[in-house]
Structure 1
Amino acid sequence: MLDDLAVILFRPKYPENIGSVARACLNMGVTRLILVAPYNLDLDKARPLATSHARHILDTALVVDTLAEAVQGFTAVYGTTARTGGWRKGIMSPATLAGVVDERLRSGGRVALLFGPEDTGLTNDETSICSGLMTIPTSREGTSLNLAQAVVVVLYECFKRALDAPFTPDGPPEERATTVQEQEALFENLRETLLAIDFLKDDNPDYWMLPVRRFFAKINLRRNEFNLLMGVCRQVRWFVDRHAPKR
C-alpha cells in the first residue's frame, strides 16, 4: 500500500527513538527506513522499542553518511518542521501532506518523509532540498513532539489516504442488526415486563405498546443491544416476581 514511501531520519540521537520509529513504520504499512549519520546506532537498545514484529524493518534499515545519499532515487521529499515563519512558507498540515503524498504515489512516484534531529530539527539548508514542508499542530504549552510520535502522526494520515475505501473495523457477530423475529421477541418481552411494573394499561396493552414500537423503529437495533434489553427485562421481572406484592 505504501511500498514507495520511505522515512528518513536525519542524524537521530537516540537508538530507542529509532526503534520506536521502526515500530511506527510497521503499524502504518511502511517498510523502508533510512538513517542518515545516526549519533548512536545501538541496535541492542533499539530492538526492544521496535518489538519483534518490526525488527526486520530496523535490521534492514539503510544507513548512509549524507542527506544527498539518503534522498537519491526519490521523486519527492517532504520535510518536517516545528519552526514556522520566516522563509518557511506554505507549510502543510499532516492531512494536507497526506493528500499530496497519496497523489504522488498513485502517479508512480517514490516519496520520502524527512525528520530532523530530536533536539534541533532540520536547518534551512537541509530543508532546501525538500519539495514541501509539514508541521504538526500542537498546544502552545508543548510544541515539541517525540520523534516517534511525529512519525506515527504523519504516517497515520498517509495510511488513511492510501486506503481505497474508508476504514471500518469488523464488528463481532453479536453486533449484527437484529432480525424482525428478534425484534418481535423483544417487544413481547418488553410488553410483559411493562405490564409487570404497571407501566402499561391492562385493558389494551398492545395499543400502549405502539409508542414503544415507534421508538425502536427509529433505531437500527444491534444484536448485542437486543441481548442487553432482553437481560434487563428478565432481571426486572425476576425482581417483581420476588419482591412485589401479588396483584
Structure 2
Amino acid sequence: MLDNMAVILFRPKYPENIGSVARACLNMGCENIILVAPQNFDMDKALPLATAHARHLLEHARIVDTLEEAVRDFNAVYGTTARTGGWRKGIMSPATLAGAANEKMRDGGRVAVLFGPEDRGLTNDETKLCTGLVTIPTNWENSSLNLSQAVLVILYECFKRSLDKPFTPAGPPEERLTTVEEQEVLFENMREVLLDIDYLRDTNTEYWMLPVRRFMSRINLKRNEFNLLMGICRQIRWATGKK
C-alpha cells in the first residue's frame, strides 16, 4: 500500500527500537527503511523485536552516513517533532501529513518520513531539509513516545489514506516531481537572489527563508517548473550584476 514511502531513522540509538520499527512498517505496508549513521546497530538485538515476519525489512534496510544522502532522491521529506514554535511553524497533524503524502505519491512521487534520535529528536538544521514537519498530539503531561510508537501512528494515518485513495501507477508522470536535493539547490539560488535585491536581511537569512520554504512545500513542484524558477533566478542575478 505504501510502496512509494520510506521511513528514515536518523542516528537511532537502540537496535531494539529499530527492530520494533521494522515490525510497525510491515504492519502498515511500508517496507522501505533507511538508517542514517545508526549508533549501536546490532542485528541480533533488533531481530527479536522485528519478529521473523519483518526480518527481511531489517536485512534489506539501507544504511547511509549522512542525512543529505538519505533524503536526496525523495520528492518530499516530512520530519517529526515534539517541539513547536520558533523555527518550527506550520506543523501538521499525522492525518494532514497523510493527505499531503498521498497526493504526492499519486503524482508518482516518492515520500519519506524522518525520525530523529530517541533522546533529542531533530535539530533546526536537520529540519531544514524537510518539506514539512509533523507532530503527534499527546497528553501534555507526557508527550514522549517510543520511536516505534511514533512510526506506527504516522504510518497508520498514511495507510488509512491510501485505502481511501489508493495509488495506482498509470505509467510515468508527464513531468517528474523535483527531489529534495533539487529543492535545496533552488532554495539556495532563491536566497542569493533575494539578498541581491535587498529583500532579505544579511543576518540569519535561513530564518527569513522559512516562509518561502513553507510556501514551496505546499506545491508539488515539477522538474520543468524547477527549471523555470532557476532560469528566473539566473536572469535576476545577471540583471542586478549588470546594473
Q: Same fold (TM over 0.5)?
A: yes
Aligned residue in 2 for 1:20: 20
Aligned residue in 2 for 1:94: 94
Can you list the C-alpha shifts for 1:92-123, whole angstroms capped at 9, x where unaligned? 00001000001010110000000000000000
Aligned residue in 2 for 1:203: none
The letter of the residue matching 1:102 is N
TM-score relative to the length of structure 2: 0.67
SS of the aligned residue for 1:153 comes to: helix
Aligned residue in 1 for 2:48: 48
Partner Cα separation in structure 2 for residue 87 and residue 32 of structure 1: 29
The letter of the residue matching 1:123 is T
Correspondence 1:185-200 to 2 at 5 A:
none
Partner Cα separation in structure 2 for residue 105 and residue 62 of structure 1: 21
Aligned residue in 1 for 2:58: 58
Aligned residue in 2 for 1:107: 107
Partner Cα separation in structure 2 for residue 65 and residue 140 of structure 1: 35
Can you list the C-alpha shifts for 1:205-224, whole angstroms capped at 9, x where unaligned? xxxxxxxxxxxxxxxxxxxx
Aligned residue in 2 for 1:128: 128
TM-score relative to the length of structure 1: 0.66
Aligned Cα root-mean-square deviation (Å): 1.1
Aligned residue in 1 for 2:147: 147
Q: CA deviation at 1:81?
A: 0.1
Aligned residue in 2 for 1:67: 67
* Larger RCO: 1 or 2 (CA < 8 Å, sep 6+): 2
The letter of the residue matching 1:93 is S
Q: CA deviation at 1:158?
A: 0.1
Partner Cα separation in structure 1 for residue 15 and residue 104 of structure 2: 31
Q: CA deviation at 1:72?
A: 2.1
Q: Percent identity?
A: 75
Distance 1:83-1:60 versus aligned 2 partners, 3 A rule: same
Unaligned runs of 5+ in 2: 167-243
Partner Cα separation in structure 1 for residue 85 and residue 122 of structure 2: 14
Aligned residue in 2 for 1:33: 33
The structure with the largest alpha-carbon Rg is: 1
Unaligned runs of 5+ in 1: 167-247
The letter of the residue matching 1:58 is L
Count of aligned positions: 166
